[in-house]
Amino acid sequence: MKILIADDSRVMRQIVTRTLRQAGYGGHELVEAADGRQAHDLTISEKPDLVLSDWNMPEMTGIEVLRALRAGGVDVPFGFVTSEGTDEMRQMAEQAGALFLITKPFTADNFTDVLGPILG
């Protein structure tokens, strides 16, 4: 299984990677994107089984990435790992087709609870 981690912070991508391992998902292939445009393009080319995206990134925001993928017919499971989690953001994410929104700081248990039903 392949997971795309999209965040403009290299450190945050490493933290998400470490947390995935702690949650028991270390055996999956991980692909990293450093901005929204790269996240969009890598989702098309790499065909991940799941996208974990930050909300605020250069080039394209996470929500713009999700909307562009859905408009292009790409139905990859997509969720947000972001520092903000307002009700408005959660509503926008859900309406755009996101499966979840995990707020930072997060724990391995948060990942297990949210990703378990998706990744099995």
| Mean pLDDT value across the chain | 96
Fold of 2-119: Rossmann fold (3.40.50)
CA–CA separation, 115 and 94 (whole Å):
16
Q: Is the pLDDT of residue 99 over 80?
A: yes
For 47, left (φ over 0), alpha (ψ -120 to 50), or beta? left
- Residues 45-97: pLDDT tens digits? 999 999 999 999 999 999 999 999 999 999 999 999 999 889 999 999 999 99
Residues sharing a CB contact under 8 Å with residue 109, sequence separation 6 or more, in sequence order: 23
The model scores a pTM over 0.85? yes
